[in-house]
Structure formats: C-alpha cells, structure tokens
Amino acid sequence: MGTKAQRVLTVVGASLAIFFHGSLVFGLPGLMSPVWGETLGIGAGPLSLVMFFLLAALGVFMFFVGKWTARYGARRLILAGTLLAAAAAAMTAVVDNVWMIYAWAFLIGAASCFVYSPGINVVQQCFPHIKGTVSGIVNLTFGIAAAIMVPVYRLWLESYGVEVMALIAACLTFGAGLLGTKMIAVPQPLPVPQRASGKMASPTHVTTKELTPAQAVRTPSFWLLWVVWALMGAAGITMVTQSVRYGLHLGFGLAAASGILASFNLTNGLSRLASGVLSDRWGRKLTLALSFILAGAAYFILPHTTSLGVTMLLAAAVGFGYGTLFACSAPLIAECFGLKHFGVIFGLVFTSFGFVSGLIGPVATGAILSFTGHSYLAAFSFLGVLCLLSAALVLLVKH
C-alpha cells in the first residue's frame, strides 16, 4: 500500500463517493421547496427552515465523524454515509408534511458528514504537498454535482413524478458510493517536498505544530475561522434556497429559474478545484478573501437586474466564493493546527456552519423578505455584507 496509483485511486474514490451527496445537499432542497410549497401548501417561512435542519445535522455529526474516522477508518464511515444518503434520496418519494421535510433535510446533512470529512482527510494524507489541489478535486465533485444533476432531476420529476425520481437517485447514490469506497486506501503520508535551502516549496507549505483540539480552540485563528464559516457559509447556502424562488419572483418559469441554481452550483463545483490549485500558489487567505469580495459584489448587484443571463452570472459569482470556502478552508485548518487531529478540529470549526449559518442565512433572509414585503434589495444587501465581513476576517488568520 502507498503506491502513487493507490493514492490517485483514493482521490478518485473519495470524489466518486461524494458526488451524489452534493446533488442532494445543493440541488434537491432548492428544486423541491417550490414543489412542496405548491403541492403541500407549505409557506415560504416554514420552508426556509429546511436548510437550517440540514446544516444542523452537519454541526452535530461533523465533529463526531472526525473522531470516528481515526477509530473506524475512512472506508467504513464513507460506506455508512452512502447508505444514509441512499435512504434520504428514497425518502423524497414519501414526504407529505413539513416535519418529514425537516427530517429528510437532517438525514441528508448527516449522510454528507460521513463522506465529506473522511474523504477530505484521507486525500490530504495522500498528497500533503498539494493539499489544496487534492482537497479541491474532492470538493469539485461535491459542489458541481448539483449543477449536473438538477436539470436531470427536474426532467425526471416532470416526466415521471417524484417517486420515480427519488428511486433512481437512491440507486445511483448507493452504486457510486459503494464503488468509490472500494477504491479508497489509507496510505502513510508522503514527506512534503523541500527546496535545497530547507524551506518549503511554496508559502502554503508551512511547518505546523500538531495542536490538540483543546489547544486549537484557545487560539484566535480558530475563532476567526469559526466566524468566517458562519458568515460566508450563511451567504452561500442561502443561494441554494433562494435562487429558484428569486427566478420565479422575476417572472421566469421553473426551468429558467432552475438554471439560476444550476449556475450557482456549476461554479460552486468548479471553483473548488480552481481555487484549491490557486491557493497552493497564492496562499489560502488571499484566495479566500478575493473570492468572498467577488461574491459580495454579486449580491449587491443582483437586485438591480432582471436579465436571466446576468442573474445566472451573478449567482455563479456567489457560487465561486462559496466553493472556495470549502476548498481552501480545509487545507488552511490543516496548516494552522496540523493533520493529526484535523478531523476533530475541522468538525469543531464546522459547528458554526451547522448551527449558525442556517439561522443567519436562509432563516434570517426569509424573515427579511417577509418583513419587507419580498424586498430582495434588503435581503441580498444583507448577504453581501456577510461576504465582505468574511473577507476581512479571514485575512487576520495566522498559522
């Protein structure tokens, strides 16, 4: 074990295993919310809580999965996540009230934890000298899955109904996850390449003391990252729930409105690889800050356009910033605190995304829209401010 081929297969396996999880997390809530609102008579307020329950599951399980990965191994955790995700996809067919929707969302969030954290952990162990790149590859498939699958889900939904769509999604999720799990090995970490002078090959390759979780939470950098995840996570995840609704608000049909969500998810995926590679050259903090500023500017412009093409482009800019948050934060956390306790520390940082982002993102945005009579100027300006605050705070993080 430990050959280059095995390490490459591990990256491929982790990416394959996470693909359909991405379509469930970033695609189905946005696609199904207006459908459930119409067929079940559920208002925008209760539906705005869907992402809160999904993110709450992330907050609960990401920490525990970080501990369980070291105990049981990445492959077992990913297999468990595959089974949970297939069950969540199948559950889409039987949802008939708002509490079942919340349970469905919680199950999707829990399932993704069991695949995302172990997958990111194991690929960084395989290639510690290019953590941003390999983390970006896994994140790419996680983020871009919805851009690929939402149009397909919509076609199945309109052609065959919810039940058939859910069954097909469940089967595909199980098959891809099982195949990906079999490809994953856990090699010994490779030494990080050094220059002749003894210095690391790039500014991102820093010598990191292995901090314990207790030591990490006593550093300012931990709490800066925690707040950045809360704010930028809120700004990004809100686009998942509001993109289709905003398109319908502008007068577009469901197909065109779904294109806004697809644009967001396209760059949400592509940026995870692009920004991961760039961060290996430019540094994690600069890459994160620039992408957050881009997302903030897009949010400020969004309510001033009624063009579908421009709206899709601006949603894509938000997706780029959101994808970069995922791609660059994991290697930044590893460089700040080390890889030995990465899973647990990453899970602790992720609690802000799980418990806070849902409240200050989708829930707060829903409240703003209700209070202002559906003024997207107020709602999107609020989200733009969150992006700019995140850009300023991430620059203060120190290794």
Q: What is the pLDDT of residues 308-340, one digit of tens each?
A: 999 999 999 999 999 899 888 888 988 888 878
Residue range 361-392, pLDDT digits in tens? 888 998 899 899 889 999 999 999 999 999 99
> What is the pLDDT, as a whole number, of residue 204?
47
Residue range 58-110, pLDDT digits in tens? 888 888 887 888 788 889 999 999 999 999 999 999 988 889 999 999 999 99
Contact 358, 59 (CB under 8 A): no
> What is the pLDDT, as a whole number, of residue 209?
73
The mean pLDDT value for 250-257 works out to 87
Contact 354, 189 (CB under 8 A): no
Residue 287 has pLDDT above 80, yes or no: yes
Handedness of CA 6, 8, 11, 15 (dihedral sign): negative
Q: What is the 3-state secondary structure (H, E, C) of 333-363?
A: HHHHHCCCCHHHHHHHHHHHHHHHHHHHHHH
Element (H, E) at 364: helix 364-371
Element (H, E) at 220: helix 220-249
> What is the pLDDT, as a whole number, of residue 196?
42
Phi, psi angles (nearest 5°) of residue 202: -155, 165
Residue 355 has pLDDT above 60, yes or no: yes
Partner residues linked to 200 by β-bridges: 194
Percentage of the chain modeled with pLDDT above 70: 93
28-32, 75-79, 179-183, 281-285: which has the minimum mean pLDDT? 28-32
Residue range 36-52, pLDDT digits in tens? 888 888 876 787 788 78
> What is the pLDDT, as a whole number, of residue 295?
97
Where do runs of H (alpha helix) occur along 73-130?
74-91, 98-126
Q: Which band of pLDDT confidence, cut at 50, 70 and 90, is reported for residue 342?
A: confident
> What is the pLDDT, as a whole number, of residue 108?
94
DSSP-assigned states of every residue in 167-190: HHHHHHHHHHHHHHHHH---PPPP
d(CA 128, CA 115): 20
Query: Two tokens at 93?
Result: 């067919």
Q: Which amino acid is at 311?
A: T
Query: Two tokens at 293?
Result: 């500023």
Query: Two tokens at 213?
Result: 């979780």
d(CA 344, CA 327): 18
> What is the pLDDT, as a whole number, of residue 28?
87
Q: What is the pTM of this model?
A: 0.74
Phi, psi angles (nearest 5°) of residue 349: -60, -40
Q: What is the dotted CATH code of the domain comprising 4-394?
A: 1.20.1250.20
